[in-house]
Amino acid sequence: MAPLLEVRNLKTQFKSKDGVVKAVDDVSFHIDKGETLGVVGESGSGKSVTAMSILRLVQNPGKVVGGEILFEGRDLLKLEDRDMRKVRGKEIAMIFQDPMTSLNPVLTVGRQLSEPLITHLGLTKTQALKESVDLLKMVGIPNAAERVRSYPHHFSGGMRQRVMIAMSLACRPKLIIADEPTTALDVTIQAQILELLEKLQAETGTAVMLITHALGVVAGMADRINVMYAGHIVETATADELFANPRHPYTMGLLKSIPRLDEARRGRLEPIKGSPPDLLDLPKGCPFVSRCEYALPQAETIRPELRQVPAEADGGRSEHWIACHSEVKMGDPPVHEAQEVA
Amino acid sequence: MSENNLNGSRGRKPGEKSKPSIDINRQATAVMDDLAPSADPNVLLSVRNLQQHFPINQGIIFQRQVGAVRAVDGISFDVRKGETLGLVGESGCGKSTTGRTILHLSRPTGGKIYFEGKDITGIRGQELKRVRRNMTMIFQDPYASLNPRLTVQNIVAEPMVIHGMGTAKERYEKVQELLELVGLSRHYGTRYPHEFSGGQRQRVGIARALAASPSFIVADEPVSALDVSIQAQVVNLMEDLQSRLNLTYLFVAHDLSVVRHISDRVAVMYLGKIVELADRDVIYTTPAHPYTRALLSAVPIPDPRAEKQRKRIILAGDVPSPINPPPACRFHTRCPLAQQICREEAPEFRDIGGGHFSACHFAEDVASGKLSMV
Ligand SMILES: Nc1ncnc2c1ncn2[C@@H]1O[C@H](COP(=O)(O)OP(=O)(O)OP(=O)(O)O)[C@@H](O)[C@H]1O
Ligand SMILES: Nc1ncnc2c1ncn2[C@@H]1O[C@H](COP(=O)(O)OP(=O)(O)O)[C@@H](O)[C@H]1O
Ligand code: SF4
Ligand SMILES: [Mg+2]
Ligand SMILES: [Mg+2]
């Protein structure tokens, strides 16, 4: 079965006076119908730019400079603007971290929910308003029939995010791209929103691309996960596999550096040394090389390509890929130590 | 109030991480609602019935007060010498206000603050300046909290200048030492904040906080704005400094995993009140307040298998406004266990044993699991 979305060799760059920022550099991945793909990585790793590229919302001075974005087989990068607008409203929806950036403060929530229903689905105003009430009910807004007449600022952060979700669902999209949908929310509200997303996804069969820097969130929600670092996908596997058998030193480093709520203190945390690289001044080889405990000499000069490694969590049925020259597992001693021993 | 009702593990050496120890001989019903400080010499800071109400004024010409934001509404706790007390809760529950009020960045509208046994509530002038040298703050936002026009040298030296410490040369030396102490290169002193990454800026903020050699530090979400890979660096740094310099921390955060890691004891706030306080592992393994239970269950765990087995307690609705908090138990509007009594009577913040405080009518049954929430 062909995937719902297939991104091939995507390159998106920002030109600045200091040089070219390769925000997304040769990224390929796919999303199947109905599945949840988690995208994790630290700030600046290219998660949002990937999302914006798919929707063709990258603003100047940014530009998609290469690759294909196949949605149900059609390359979105080749569509006329008019057709792309249809895809955006109807087939692919977006939920942002801050709902206020995408809600119009001077229009009632009902107006904003109705509009895509009228333009994309051809409903009448009355039908659209009725559908809007149903959507608000579906996302758990109490007194939906009255609340359609409210303005966004009358809602709390969590409720606005529910409204955003209602809006994204309005035209029954095949894919929802959710960029840090719960990052601005408190944990108890985050739990409400994640539960809602899961429930709605089960009901509607929509695929979700869930972007977050919180490993806990993707652990509970995602079927598969892409780990991004400095504009690259450095590891991709099913969620079970990635957490049970991480194979990229960056992923391992992330998992080691975070304390777990369900674990008693296990001594000092093990941070990743250094900080993320400057995208204007990336090393020639592996972008992680300067922070890596396992770097081999060739990592300085040769950029590692994604390569498949054996998956273990499900008896090898799923696919597991890493972009790394080294062959290491969680708990292996750092390379320089091993050399000293040898 | 009995003298030792706040101390689950006493006589701990500075810098040593306390283990939960339950003292069964202790009076099990102590309440922390009077205004006297702790008599325990191991206590550095006592807060008693602290209140911070911000007035809401209306009218353009004739301003009159029409209400108040009850940001902190009567909280009591002790911080022991050399420990880290974690303060957690959702945004707006009053964590930062608590920290700022303790540091006298705003005047409390009620209650008492004792530092090293002395009442420091409402002190001014020279007296306040002396106390301020001993307690400082590390802020959440490493971008906003450093003056962009000053060099790192001047930023870090500022508290010493304010407190008239040392000669210019001595201050220069001290800054160099501090930079090294927080893991920055000595020659970073000539640079400006914008030249640094978030993690490095937070190190500068920590160096600054340490400049006047304080004994007590309020760290207000010190790692929340940092990337996960950098958070661990700063947490480790704070722990190292604590044992080297014998510091006491009030560690304010909303990330319960980080708080479990760094704290000796943890206080949970909800809508201006502390609802639970206990030794770290006690609060995470046997929480005695329904809100703590819900909060813990909502934190995602980075392990898909663990996640699949967990049962979330999803609280209904939003946190009510601190302008009009619900009467009696503040949590009753969202509490899955609420009974009639919860709407009529405010639960006392009481010790249910071993220095484990909870403000719930059914604390014991919540802790034992007799009252289930899922
Ligand atoms: N408008 C822009 N102009 C210049 N550079 C940009 C612009 N937008 C993004 N970038 C750069 O592209 C890179 C990737 O940014 P992106 O927003 O995708 O990061 P992200 O992974 O979403 O991070 P976060 O977790 O902080 O949201 C960064 O280096 C960023 O500085
Ligand atoms: N200076 C102020 N004036 C009025 N209200 C304030 C002020 N500072 C804080 N508040 C209010 O007090 C409550 C607690 O705030 P805060 O202590 O910042 O919470 P937290 O740090 O737990 O997120 C919030 O409702 C906040 O809006
Ligand atoms: S006192 Fe009642 S409402 Fe308050 S937390 Fe306990 S059970 Fe819930
Ligand atoms: Mg982003
Ligand atoms: Mg705060």
Residue A201 and residue B194: Cα distance in Å, rounded?
43
State what percent of residues in chain B have pLDDT above 70. 91
- pLDDT greater than 80 at residue B206: yes
* DSSP notation for B305-364: HHHHH----PPPS-PPPTTSPPSSSTTTTT-TT--HHHHHSPPP-EE-STT-EE--TTHH
Q: What is the DSSP letter of A21?
A: E
State what percent of residues in chain B have pLDDT above 90. 71
**Residue B32, pLDDT score:** 61
pLDDT tier at A16, thresholds 50, 70, 90: confident
Is the Cβ pair B229, A253 closer than 8 Å?
yes
CB B216 within 8 A of CB B81: no
- The region, left, alpha or beta by phi > 0 then psi within -120 to 50, assigned to residue A239 is alpha
| Domain boundaries along the sequence of chain A | 5-225, 230-260+270-341
Paired sense of beta strands B350-351 and A320-322, if any: unpaired
Range A50-58 average pLDDT: 96
Tokens standing for A33? Answer: 């119908």
Is the Cβ pair B299, A43 closer than 8 Å?
no
Contact with chain B for residue A41, Cβ under 8 A: no
Lowest model confidence (mean pLDDT) among A63-67, B89-93, B269-273: B89-93
Range A84-108 average pLDDT: 89
CA of B312 to the centre of ligand 3 (A): 18
Model confidence over A118-136: pLDDT tens digits? 999 999 999 999 999 999 9
How many residue pairs bridge chain A and chain B with CB atoms within 8 Å of each other? 128
Interface probe for B, chosen from A210, A261, A270 (most Cβ of B below 10 Å), is: A261
Residue B357 and residue B5: Cα distance in Å, rounded?
10
Is the Cβ pair A243, B200 closer than 8 Å?
no
CATH number of B1-15+44-59+66-81+90-121+266-374: 3.40.50.300
- Reduced to 3 states (helix: H, G, I; strand: E, B; else coil), residue B44 is strand
CB B223 within 8 A of CB B262: no
Residue A323 and residue B70: Cα distance in Å, rounded?
53
pLDDT tier at A340, thresholds 50, 70, 90: very low
Tokens standing for B130? Answer: 């002396």
Q: Which residue of A has its CA nearest to B240?
A: A268
Question: In sequence order, what are the residues at sequence separation of 6 or more whose Cβ sits closer than 8 angstroms to the Cβ of residue B282?
Answer: B8, B20, B22, B354, B356
Question: In CATH, what is the architecture of A5-225?
Answer: 3-Layer(aba) Sandwich (3.40)
The count of other CB atoms within 10 Å of the CB of residue B181 is 17
> HSE of A262 in the Cβ direction (CA atoms, 13 Å)?
13
First to last CA, chain B: 35
- pLDDT greater than 90 at residue B12: no
Any atom of ligand 3 within 6 Å of the Cβ of B335: yes
CA of B94 to the centre of ligand 2 (A): 6
Instruction: Give, using CA atoms, the residue closest to atom 6 of ligand 3.
Output: B360
Nearest to B49 by CA among B10, B9, B115, B98: B98
Q: What is the DSSP letter of A110?
A: H
- pLDDT greater than 80 at residue B245: yes
Atom of ligand 2 nearest to the CA of B106: 1
* Distance from the A310 Cα atom to the nearest Cα atom in chain B, whole angstroms: 19
- Reduced to 3 states (helix: H, G, I; strand: E, B; else coil), residue B130 is helix
Range B213-227 average pLDDT: 92
- β-partners of residue B31 are B350
The count of other CB atoms within 10 Å of the CB of residue A252 is 22
Nearest to B78 by CA among B109, B52, B39, B105: B39
Chain A segment 230-259 residues within 8 A of B by beta carbon are: 239-240, 243-244, 253-255, 257-259
Contact with chain B for residue A17, Cβ under 8 A: no
Residue B282 and residue B231: Cα distance in Å, rounded?
25
Residue B283 and residue B268: Cα distance in Å, rounded?
9
| Domain boundaries along the sequence of chain B | 1-15+44-59+66-81+90-121+266-374
Tokens standing for A267? Answer: 């001594």
Q: How far is Cα of residue A256 from the mean position of the Cα atoms in its chain?
A: 22
Lowest model confidence (mean pLDDT) among A334-338, B9-13, B341-345: B9-13
**Residue B19, pLDDT score:** 38
Lowest model confidence (mean pLDDT) among B76-90, B142-156, B262-276: B142-156
Residue A236 and residue A228: Cα distance in Å, rounded?
9
Chain A residue numbers with beta carbons less than 8 Å from the beta carbon of B374 are none
The CA distances from residue B356 to A71, B27, B29, B332, in Å, are 56, 12, 10, 21
* Distance from the B101 Cα atom to the nearest Cα atom in chain A, whole angstroms: 23
Chain B residue numbers with beta carbons less than 8 Å from the beta carbon of A189 are 90, 318
Residue A209 and residue A228: Cα distance in Å, rounded?
14
Q: Which ligand is nearest to the Cα of residue B276, counting in written order?
A: 3
- pLDDT greater than 60 at residue A243: yes
**Residue A336, pLDDT score:** 66
The residue with greater pLDDT, A35 or B66, is A35
* Distance from the A191 Cα atom to the nearest Cα atom in chain B, whole angstroms: 6
* Angle in degrees, 0-180, between the axes of helices B198-210 and B168-181, rounded to the nearest 10: 130
Any atom of ligand 3 within 6 Å of the Cβ of B102: no
Instruction: Give, using CA atoms, the residue closest to atom 16 of ligand 1.
Output: A46
**Residue B24, pLDDT score:** 36
Residue B95 and residue A128: Cα distance in Å, rounded?
44
Gyration radius from chain B CA atoms? 21
Q: Residue B270: what residue type? A: Y
pLDDT tier at B31, thresholds 50, 70, 90: low
Residue A68 and residue A139: Cα distance in Å, rounded?
34
The residue with greater pLDDT, A45 or B30, is A45
- pLDDT greater than 60 at residue B15: no
**Residue A301, pLDDT score:** 95
The residue with greater pLDDT, B151 or B374, is B151
Chain A segment 309-328 residues within 8 A of B by beta carbon are: none
CA of A274 to the centre of ligand 2 (A): 35
CA of B92 to the centre of ligand 5 (A): 7
* DSSP notation for A160-192: HHHHHHHHHHTT--SEEEEESTTTTS-HHHHHH
The count of other CB atoms within 10 Å of the CB of residue B60 is 5
**Residue B63, pLDDT score:** 80
Sign, Cα dihedral of B100, B103, B107, B110: positive
Lowest model confidence (mean pLDDT) among A15-29, A271-285, B146-160, B229-243: A271-285
* Distance from the B231 Cα atom to the nearest Cα atom in chain A, whole angstroms: 8
Nearest to B123 by CA among B113, B134, B133: B113
* Angle in degrees, 0-180, between the axes of helices A157-169 and A125-138, rounded to the nearest 10: 130
pLDDT tier at B14, thresholds 50, 70, 90: very low
Residue A336 and residue A342: Cα distance in Å, rounded?
10
Range A77-83 average pLDDT: 96
Which spans in A11-80 are helix H?
A: 47-54
> Which residue in the block uniquely carries the two structure tokens 């995470």?
B284
